[in-house]
Amino acid sequence: MSLAPISVATLAGMKVKGERIASLTCYDASFARLLDTAGVDLMLVGDSLGMVFQGHRTTVPVTLDHMAYHAACVSRARERALLVVDLPFLACATPERAIDAAGRLMQEGGAEVVKLEGGSPMLETVRRLTEQGVPVCAHLGLLPQSVHRIGGYRFQGRDHASAEAIRHDAIAMQEAGASLLVLECVPEALASEIALTLTIPVIGIGAGAGCDGQVLVLYDMLGLNPGRPPSFSRNFMIGQGSIADAVAAYVQGVKAREFPGRDETAY
């Protein structure tokens, strides 16, 4: 494993070479050190912290201050992995707000890439951010910040119209300048097709094994979810002697294309 810091260009090169990208969420310095040592390629300071760290039912209550704080905690300890940070609910309501929020996450939080949810309505924001030198990770499929509008955490893209919309938005996001794409809870065939079509890396969560990489919520893959775990996740603590061993097993599973398996994939 190379100890050189990972960049957006590194991930693009991994896609070209067919090397899988192992990603996990991270919210604090101690876990950042552990994930770095285990060989995680990308750490996502996700607004999922609102649910697993703060105890909320959704990600909506998470603020920009929260995101900047947790990003800074991770940034101080992380040395190798690429640091991606979520723009929280309504931070992208206008391109101007998104630029201001991204500035804070990069200057105060140490973010190297900012992630935003949404398709065509976000295209101008992606263009404006990239024009200002901000690397962007797009996020399509299930959009947790829109949970109240869509009526819950449901798989997306299972009918022809919604699959076409996701496919169209993925291409448009790349053309607008996005450097990465997260696909959440979409059928494996759709995700695989998009990963093959795009030149930018596609990271899946609940999107099957055909993506260029995988991401899970750290607490889910450690079996720390107090409720029913997501169907696409796996408890990597089972059979392991430590948290470090579990994270290493996850990284190995992604790299070897053993995770996700058929039971962890939507069709």
Side-chain half-sphere exposure of 54, counting CA atoms within 13 A: 18
The mean pLDDT value for 83-101 works out to: 97
Burial 206-243 (b: 16+ CB within 10 A, else e): bbbbbbbbbbbbbbbbbeebeeebbebbbebbeebeeb
Q: CATH second-level architecture of 8-264?
A: Alpha-Beta Barrel (3.20)
Residue 1 has pLDDT above 60, yes or no: no
Residue range 152-162, pLDDT digits in tens: 667 888 899 99
Residue 236 has pLDDT above 60, yes or no: yes
Q: Which pLDDT value is given to residue 189?
A: 96
pLDDT, averaged across the chain: 94
Binding residue per annotation — 48? yes
The mean pLDDT value for 139-145 works out to: 90
Q: Which pLDDT value is given to residue 267?
A: 62
Q: Six-digit token pair at 92?
A: 């992208």
More confident residue, 230 or 247: 247
Residue 163 has pLDDT above 90, yes or no: yes
Residue range 42-55, pLDDT digits in tens: 999 999 999 999 99
The mean pLDDT value for 203-230 works out to: 93
Binding residue per annotation — 115? yes
Domain ranges of the chain: 8-264
Q: Which residues are catalytic?
A: 184
Spatial distance between the Cα atoms of 61 and 77, rounded to a whole number of angstroms: 26
Spatial distance between the Cα atoms of 169 and 158, rounded to a whole number of angstroms: 16
